[in-house]
Amino acid sequence: MKKENHKTHYINGLIAALFFFTIYVIATHAHAGGGGIDTSPPEAITTLSVVTSGQNSVTLQWTAVSGNNNGEYPTPLFAQGVWYSRSTIIPYESPAEGSYSSYYNPTIVPAPATPGTVQTATIPNLTSGVMYYFRMSSNDGTNPTVIGNEVSVVVGQPSDDGDGDDEEEPPQNILQPPPASTDGVGASAGTIQPREAVFSGKVFPGGRVELLVKNTIGADYLFLPDTRVSVDATGTFKVSAKPLLAKEYFFALKAKDKDGRETSTIGFPVDFNTTQKFEKTDIFFPPTIGSASSVVSSGAPITILGYAFSNNDVLVEFDGEVVATVHTGSDGAYSHAIESGGLSSGTHTARVRQKLPGGELTSFSQTHTLRISSISNPKADFNNDNAINIIDWSVFLTAWGSGGGADHTRADLDGDGTVSISDFAIFLKAIVVE
């Protein structure tokens, strides 16, 4: 009995704290003139540009924008941040899934200035010779975070190479320039053909294939021009890299579907000391895999989904056992629902592979991990301990009003890009139920 009273007092005290926080939120986000809640989203930073690209850093520049987008009372943003990645950035995809990293540190990204002010930030600790992509986020502390334009640059290479165009030139430590003409007019009959690597095969329609290269197994992958190609409706692709030096390389291919999920990487070591051209055909990518939710309540269906070849069979494996064979449509999409009622709470794994018309099996997809929870709203269990308590409340408070980071992603319960009063209402309901 005493234990139940203690729990009752604990929950009542927490609910009281949540109630007073609600009053605080409503008061601090009311307009000074009208008393209503701010529903006007912030402006997007659409003027982001690259100023300089140093050996291991990039300096960005932008014009400060207003925290309210109605133009009536322009005020500075509540927060702004720089997102960066080695591939194009998909807004709101979790940083934990490898989409992007972010900086909100005021020693790197300055606090939002008066709208119209030109600001700069130097992003450190980047890898020289690698292509990076950048975006900026705008947050007014109440409404969904807004994402601005994307810029990209190879670190250590000027953003304008001075040759009269705006194209980025490849890193010279991995590529060699094509041989110069010997007759003053065009290439001579004795011109040496550049070394080249060519890859082709099949993947899901509508995706993208990227070719990466590095000099040694332990080095970072480097950007090469024209090595990101779109996949046509038939699912076929062809991508190449040239000109290359006479040395050993390691090439890696990966594909991304139209929803942003990536395949596992396919690698090829090539020694160009002994060959002039390397060509690999009939490369068959494994499918991509994901789920409608990474955490589900016990009894709710688990939906496994992704993309594979069009009009093809996909074998679904759950916890090491093949549980279904599903057929893709013309766009390569597949999905399969698994009942979770008879499964234990905790972590489970899924992966898929496809069966080709001739009976051959492709390699497996990446292993997808998901969790079955015994609580009614597992999204509010931020630390994944199968309980909603004061620890989760602390995570929510830390994420309140933020515009990015792991805590922000977890606490954004309604998925609108910011942690605000609507997320608080969801969290309050979940903690009362539990």
More confident residue, 293 or 283: 283
The pLDDT value given to residue 161: 41
| CATH code at 290-373 | 2.60.40.10
- When pLDDT is cut at 50, 70 and 90, the band that residue 407 belongs to is low
C-alpha distances (whole Å) from 290 to each of 121, 147, 330, 379, 414 are 35, 24, 19, 17, 19
Closest by CA to 424, choosing from 8, 23, 67, is 23
- When pLDDT is cut at 50, 70 and 90, the band that residue 108 belongs to is confident
Query: Quick one: average pLDDT of 406-424?
Result: 73
Can you tell me which residue has the tokens 């494994």?
A: 286
Q: Are 120 and 126 in contact (CB under 8 A)?
A: no
Comparing 50-64, 212-226, 287-301, 414-428, which segment has the lowest mean pLDDT?
212-226
- What Rg do the C-alpha atoms of the chain give, in angstroms? 26
Name the fold adopted by 195-284.
Answer: Immunoglobulin-like (2.60.40)
383-433 carries CATH number 1.10.3470: no
49-154 and 195-284 share one fold: yes
Burial class of 267 by CB neighbour count within 10 A (0 to 12, 13 to 18, 19+): exposed
User: Is residue 341 pLDDT above 60, yes or no?
Assistant: yes
Residues paired with 241 in a beta bridge: 197
More confident residue, 160 or 263: 263
Average pLDDT of every residue of the chain? 76
The pLDDT value given to residue 350: 94
Rounded to a whole number of angstroms, the distance between the first and last alpha carbons of the chain is 19
Q: Tens digits of per-residue pLDDT, 296-334?
A: 888 889 999 999 999 999 999 999 999 999 999 999 999
The pLDDT value given to residue 98: 40
C-alpha distances (whole Å) from 222 to each of 170, 172, 249 are 9, 11, 11
The pLDDT value given to residue 13: 55
Q: Tens digits of per-residue pLDDT, 180-193?
A: 433 333 333 444 56
Query: Quick one: average pLDDT of 128-148?
Result: 82
The pLDDT value given to residue 35: 45
Neighbours of 62 (CB within 10 A): 22
The pLDDT value given to residue 69: 59
More confident residue, 406 or 419: 419
| CATH code at 49-154 | 2.60.40.10
The pLDDT value given to residue 431: 67
Q: Are 347 and 369 in contact (CB under 8 A)?
A: yes
Q: Tens digits of per-residue pLDDT, 17-36?
A: 555 555 454 444 444 344 44
User: Is residue 250 pLDDT above 80, yes or no?
Assistant: yes
User: What is the C-alpha to C-alpha distance for residues 64 and 204, in angstroms, rounded to an integer?
Assistant: 41
Read off the tokens for 289.
């895999």
Q: Tens digits of per-residue pLDDT, 72-96?
A: 556 788 888 888 888 877 665 444 3
Relative to beta strand 195-202, strand 321-327 is unpaired
User: Is residue 142 pLDDT above 80, yes or no?
Assistant: no
- When pLDDT is cut at 50, 70 and 90, the band that residue 168 belongs to is very low
Domain residue limits, the chain? 49-154, 195-284, 290-373, 383-433
User: Is residue 375 pLDDT above 60, yes or no?
Assistant: yes
User: What is the C-alpha to C-alpha distance for residues 256 and 238, in angstroms, rounded to an integer?
Assistant: 15
Burial class of 357 by CB neighbour count within 10 A (0 to 12, 13 to 18, 19+): exposed
